[in-house]
A and B are shown apart, each in its own frame.
Chain A
């Protein structure tokens, strides 16, 4: 480009030397960097200069910070500035706006005096088409960063933001922690521990090991129930009455995570740590102060109900809760987890009411959630996916079978009244096939694994996502342990699962040729579950089962796989981000449908997506295609040819 080329090297040499340390440019050969340098400009922005402003105009260049730093922020509907990210030396900005070729969503301004190199948009496109490393790098960044942006778009659209809920997502634990953690060592006598606790003005006491890490917690209740009520000698060490392990959150986590921890462990106190060391305590009371309407309140409300009608009314409130959670920045997986938590509570409550109605169960049983409920991935659209395992002692006894028949019927009817319609596939405890003693369940899993067929794999997909919801956990554990053992020699089964996993290909041609439903009610729409989230769920399940990962939630499965050696971590991370993204799109679309008074479905209209969303979706589909081809290479078996029909 430059003329004469050799003479350009004085100035461009410095630029090249800089680019050699900036990904993704560092992956390019020197000659390409020199050519690139000759297309760039150098810009100077004094502190507080607004470099890019959110608005209809897309950025026409990619910016690389050479000196200084910038912040990316947006203004909420109420005019509050929220800083989303900062970029410092060697980092880039302006890319998403540039790739979306639509509006810039964020303000970018200089935090200090800042020098930036810029590359014109068409050069960036050119680089991405010529160098796959550059494209991969840029697109990965955009996929993983999409969620924040998409949620922020939602926030911007929101005008009714309850202060209480917003605080859940904008404050960190450190911002709200008030109580200090009162601690004592394991060998402290009970009486001395009680004295330490009351002297500290605390309602709980953390028992720490020699290294300062909390080993257990003692509350007022423990002193009442385990000391006074049992007449325990006061000179016994406090660790005999403590509860463990301690549920802890780090100072830097957002308050929402405390909520999730409290909900899932059913506890009222969470230890706040800094670098693992106790620094404070957060109670449910602290959270109550922060919020009016909240998931915790909803769960409590569910727990208070004594009738099915009361439960039905309480369950409806989740419909109000979800839009709030979305607007305030919860990720898709956070939202579905809250839904699962509420569903579990409703289920637990129904079984409690069943016991009042039908009397105690003659033998122990475990009520399990299966399918999407088992993965804790239900959204607005919820149906019944469940099953019942009872102890082998009840096998073949008519009165036991009769009891569980009535229990399942009661539950199925109650769930329907509470807004969970019966499952189309009849995967419910009400179906005698899925209401069996442990030994029968074990034989089911054995048959699925050893005698896998295309048809039985459908059932297996539902029940390999099994999760205990209520009752005797030991029954579920026995079944799970048995299954894990069988899976160690389940090569053929895995091969069948693999076949099913790659059956639905993502529509890679989606945006070029609009590969959508061509006829019928959903003409020109895309089934985002069938072609998007479904294939990720299937891939994650297969890889998790293969690697012995016990989680059922797709995000948890992918995260656990990511931490194992020998996995394609970059791809797993992309899949996780893609799954969050696609689930979020589905939630957004379902929320719109709910608002319009339509039943929530899984179809989306491509024309309602922004360019950025389309681009991100395309990346998500490409990640799915990559994992599917890896799965095919690894699990393909000769029998696939017979699985077809």
Chain B
């Protein structure tokens, strides 16, 4: 099992950025999803994060990351119905600084992948920035990948409708992935990883098999 704990800072800073012409199946990915206090971009805080690593198209079940965080603010009750994290769960969460430190090790050198990942990146950058670090891994939005693939393959009447409904369950279902509606950060990260796994093969088949080519239309 790959260790992401205990990486030295020296090693961390030495990690090279992935090359633009790197084939998609040669890269290390971390597919992630977060649960937040709200969707308010300026004020929301991180509640939990789930992430799973991939080596190319291979999903590493042994490299998972899941933490519930205590952001130190009151959690609005309404969110419980969505993400299932009760106020007491959040209170028992781990300190933000510690989780962020572990997370940075886990993400190191990886291309980040997520569905509408800009939302997750926004909150992570705020939290990490607050701790005096930056998060500048390249990031791929599977929703954008899906839209690009649709535009380049589908010619049906329903294209407009399909482009409107880009939520994860709908897109996952269109890729014939079976799943249960969970809204758990790790579960959703895993589902997104399975989606990205299939997309890698699709993109390669469409001669769009390098990181640079994908980032042109799917950068978050």
Contacts and interface: CB of A to CB of B under 8 A. Distances in A.
A547 interface: no
B62 interface: yes
Interface in B31-51: 50
B134 interface: no
Contacts of A3: 5
B102 to A, nearest CB: 9
Interface stretch (B52-60, B148-156, B160-168): B52-60
Interface string A36-64: 01111111101000000000000000000
Interface of A: 1-4, 7-8, 10-12, 15, 37-44, 46, 113, 117-118
Contacts of A117: 61
Interface stretch (B116-124, B136-144, B186-194): B186-194
Q: Which of A2, A11, A113, A118 has the most CB of B within 10 A?
A: A11
Nearest to B190: A11
A42 B1 contact: no
Contacts of B194: 42, 44
Contacts, number: 63
Given A7-B66, A11-B64, A38 B201 contact: no
Nearest to B61: A40
Contact of B64 (A2, A44, A46): A2
15 contacts: A1-B1, A3-B5, A7-B67, A10-B184, A10-B187, A10-B190, A15-B61, A39-B62, A40-B61, A40-B62, A41-B61, A42-B61, A43-B57, A43-B197, A46-B201
A113 B178 CA distance: 14
Contacts of B50: 10
B187 A38 contact: no
A382 B81 CA distance: 82
Given A1-B1, A39-B1, A46-B201, A8 B58 contact: no
Interface string B163-203: 00000000000001000001010110010001001100100
Q: Which of A38, A44, A118 has the most CB of B within 10 A?
A: A44
A79 to B, nearest CB: 27
B64 A8 contact: yes
A10 B62 contact: no
Contacts of A2: 62, 64
A44 B62 contact: no
Interface of B: 1, 5, 50, 52, 55, 57-62, 64, 66-67, 176, 182, 184, 186-187, 190, 194, 197-198, 201, 205
A38 B66 contact: no
B206 to A, nearest CB: 12
B198 A44 contact: yes
A62 to B, nearest CB: 14
Q: Which of B55, B61, B187 has the most CB of A within 10 A?
A: B61
Contacts of A42: 58-59, 61, 194, 197
B186 A43 contact: no
A43 B193 CA distance: 11
Nearest to B201: A46
Contact of B58 (A1, A39, A43, A46): A43
A208 to B, nearest CB: 50
Given A10-B184, A11-B186, A46-B201, A41 B67 contact: no
A567 B196 CA distance: 52
Contacts of A11: 52, 61, 64, 186-187, 190
Nearest to B94: A4
B66 A10 contact: yes
A636 B133 CA distance: 79
Nearest to B53: A41
A1 B187 CA distance: 19
A568 to B, nearest CB: 38
Contacts of B61: 11-12, 15, 37-42, 117
A40 B53 CA distance: 12
Q: Which of B59, B60, B182, B201 has the most CB of A within 10 A?
A: B59
Given A38-B1, A40-B61, A7 B186 contact: yes
Nearest to A15: B61
A459 B184 CA distance: 76
B57 A8 contact: no
Contacts of B57: 43-44
A126 to B, nearest CB: 13
Contacts of A7: 64, 66-67, 186
B68 to A, nearest CB: 8
